[in-house]
Amino acid sequence: MSHPNANFLVPLCQLPAGGVGQVRKLSGDAAFCQRVREMGFGESAFVTKVSGNGTILCQVAGTRIALSHDAANNIIVEHIARR
């Protein structure tokens, strides 16, 4: 049984607004994975979801980036905290 305060894995699109996550896995084809790594979403990067449901606005490496819901669904993060 997991601890009630244990961190959990969710797609970036499911992170609550203001939530902070650490990238743990990228899914999708190799070109997509390479592109989002170049944007700063490499495994172990910290990302804050600023807002959004259809288009996801997030902040990674000091830069705000908008992602489609489909792209954000392929970035799996460990939910760390809420700002």
- 3-17, 50-64, 67-81: which has the minimum mean pLDDT? 3-17
pLDDT one-digit tens code per residue, 32-62: 999 999 999 999 999 999 999 889 999 999 9
Query: What band does 80 get if pLDDT is binned at 50, 70 and 90?
Result: very high
pLDDT value, residue 3: 44
Full-model pTM = 0.88
Q: Is the separation of the CB atoms in 47 and 41 below 8 Å?
A: yes
In a domain? residue 41: yes
Q: Please count the structural domains in the chain.
A: 1
Residue 71 belongs to what domain range?
A: 9-82
Position 1 in a domain: no
Q: CB-hemisphere CA count at 13 Å for 65? A: 20
In a domain, 4, yes or no: no
- Tell me, yes or no, whether 33 lies in a domain: yes
Q: Residue 31: helix, strand or coil by DSSP?
A: helix
Query: What CATH number should be reported for the domain holding residue 44?
Result: 2.30.30.90
